[in-house]
A = this chain, B = another copy of it.
Amino acid sequence: MATRQGNTIRFEQVCAVESSCSLGGKKESEGPCAGQFDLLNKDNYFGQKTWEQAESRMQQLVLQRAVQQAEGPPEVLFAGDLINQCISSAYAHSESGFPFCGLYGACSTMGEGLLMGAIALESGGAQRAAVVTSSHFCTAERQYRSPLHYGSQRAPTAQWTATAAGAVVLSKRGAGPRLVRGRIGQIVDFGITDMTNMGAAMAPAAYETLTGFFTDTGATPEEYDAIVTGDLGKEGSAILEELFDRDGVNLKTRHHDCGLWIYDLQKQDVHAGGSGCGCSASLFCAIVLPKLRSGEWKRVLFLPTGALMNTLSLQQGLSIPAIAHLSEWVGGEEKA
């Protein structure tokens, strides 16, 4: 049975990655992580008629591949995405037959799902749990911002929603990387109202979750080979590192951000970096897990961040609430 240190949960059962799959679209296949994705497709329609159906197809592709490589089917599936009423997830899995839990955590969804999966395994309610999430530049852009053919100007702090997806199968057996501790985030609202600067809204949530984790556990950044945030991008990453600097803690030397990994910021004209549920989900599968499997990294913190506003709440003058869900991972051979 799991135990708690403050708001941090320590899992006692094995929660190991049995299989995973990452997928990227056109722009992602032209970026610096192209060689790491399991699947790449330069057709952003993924053979479908609409972008929304393409995003559902992306979730199917990564989940099917991950499940094929697992030792059995998941007994519960956690899924979510950015699109209104999470339709990318619902339509993707309407014929899967898997018990389905819909999540909404914006770009933190993979972090939330991994924790829900670990909790489900620890409870005995499932022996195997899957987590999948996605984002698609075209579905997000027209929903959150403006029709794509407007070709509206992008702010320098704006991030580029990744066309990407990731799926993980967690199991109580197996020698893969293990989730050993986790911290479900609290919602933090620092009063940011600029929807073209999500990084600034999300950085305080990452700070809150990370400092809470360090306080609860007595752990320090030095114990980790990498501390990987979701998609703070250039702006948010600088803010997070500065917040730690003020506390006299050097986060910079081991801090990575999926939003900075996924694109070449200059060459690919993506301004402050990548974002979207699929950004951190795909790179967790494409970069973090392989480094844990190979032993290059032995201990990692992974904390995707999410901005929890919608277009209406910003039109109504409200600021952007944000959240970050943290999971601690060790390589298959490492001590928990």
Contacts and interface: CB of A to CB of B under 8 A. Distances in A.
Contacts of A4: 75, 124-127
A104 B106 contact: no
A100 interface: yes
A270 interface: no
Contact of A123 (B1, B186, B309): B1
Contacts of A76: 184
A30 interface: no
Contact of A52 (B99, B106, B187, B312): B312
A112 B122 contact: no
Interface residues of A, number: 65
- How many copies the complex holds: the figure is 2
Interface stretch (A59-67, A80-88, A147-155, A233-241): A80-88
Nearest to A109: B102
A188 interface: yes
Contacts of A311: 84
Contacts of A75: 4, 7
A253 interface: no
A328 to B, nearest CB: 14
B94 A321 contact: yes
Q: Which of A7, A100, A316 has the most CB of B within 10 A?
A: A100
A220 interface: no
Contacts of A323: 100, 102
Contacts of A12: 124
Interface in A65-104: 75-76, 80, 82-87, 90-91, 93-104
A169 interface: no
Contacts of A123: 1-2, 119-120, 122-123
Interface string A197-219: 00000000000000000000000
A285 interface: no
Nearest to A98: B186
A273 interface: no
B99 A186 contact: yes
B184 A9 contact: no
14 contacts: A1-B1, A1-B123, A4-B125, A4-B127, A50-B316, A52-B312, A83-B312, A85-B309, A86-B308, A94-B308, A100-B185, A101-B184, A102-B308, A103-B103
A-B pairs, 8 with minimum CB distance = A1-B124, A90-B308, A99-B184, A85-B310, A122-B123, A123-B123, A2-B124, A102-B104
